[in-house]
Chain A
Amino acid sequence: MKMHATENGDLALEAIPAQLTALLRLIPKAAREGETHAKKRFYPDPCNLEEEEIRRDWETFVKPSLRHLFRSACETVELDLVQLNSPHKKGWNLTLPRAHFPAWLSCLNQARLSIAEQIGYTEADQDKTTTSVRPTERDLKLFQMDFYAFIQESLLQTLADLNADDDNTPEA
């Protein structure tokens, strides 16, 4: 698989193998499962229990707005993933438009947090790599999380490069 930033500042993934294409397709599903598996993580308490007024307002106004934001990010990602319906000669291609980077970062984060809650992810899992020829279900989930983290890092690096370019562009 090749990954590079385009002239427009988009992120292009080319020649994606079938296995990774399958994981990409799973991003919105994994993210949406967080609404069930990682509810407390998606919508953490805004303050301690004594601040009843804030908590009440949060429940009424903020949580629905966050829910809408998370869903909207997943829908954007889902629309971009339609590109994976047509395979190319060397695999699948996918372009993440620059304007969709925030949605991708959000959806990937939702997916990773959701999986993390499901498998009881801890700090100890961070540098774990499996060499087993028969990986467990948990090993596969860890791989899925790592792959999503890799895309997140690539998006952030692309953003940083673009920002650096913009900073170096002389003003007219």
Chain B
Amino acid sequence: MRSQIFYPTECSLRSAIETLPEPGVRTGENTEKQLDSVWNVVVFNDPVNLMSYVTHVFMKVFGYSEQLARRHMLEVHNFGRSILWSGGRERAELFVQELHAHLLLASLERAKN
């Protein structure tokens, strides 16, 4: 089993992350019913954060596999941004807060219908 080292604020996220479906650009549970309230969690490129660190943070915050986390990291690196998660606003805000806690450039965006 993977050992887990968390910031205190991640405790609340832990159970939520464990219930997430299989890796992919994950979608919150209400997305089909409320298309107008879908939010994207977007991460932007910056020249300072290490590639290995960004991969580590994606694995830790979203519970992604190393392969998927690395794919998103490379998307950020090569294209300047990547959508890491889509779904309800509250969870999206928590994810952005976690990413900011790890000093990554991240923001919430309303998904376009």
Please report A residues at the B interface, Cβ cutoff 8 Å.
41-48, 51, 54, 62, 65-66, 69, 98-99, 101-102, 105-106, 109-110, 112-113, 116, 121-123, 125-126, 145, 149, 152-153, 156-157, 159, 162-163, 166-167, 169, 171
Contact = CB atoms under 8 A, between A and B. Distances in A.
Contact of B52 (A43, A123, A156): A156
For this complex, into which size category does the number of interface residues on chain B fall? 20 to 34
13 contacts: A41-B103, A44-B106, A46-B96, A48-B109, A66-B100, A99-B5, A101-B5, A123-B47, A126-B47, A149-B50, A156-B56, A166-B1, A169-B1
Chain A interface, >50% SS class: helix
Contacts of B105: 41, 44
Nearest to B42: A47
Contacts of B53: 105, 109, 152, 156
Contacts of A167: 1-2
A47 B48 contact: no
Interface of B: 1-3, 5-9, 47-50, 52-53, 56, 89, 93, 96-97, 100-103, 105-109
Contact of A106 (B56, B93, B103): B103
Contacts of A44: 100, 105-107
A152 B47 contact: no
Contacts, number: 86
B97 A62 contact: yes
A171 B2 CA distance: 12
A16 to B, nearest CB: 21
Given A47-B107, A65-B9, A156-B56, A116 B3 contact: no
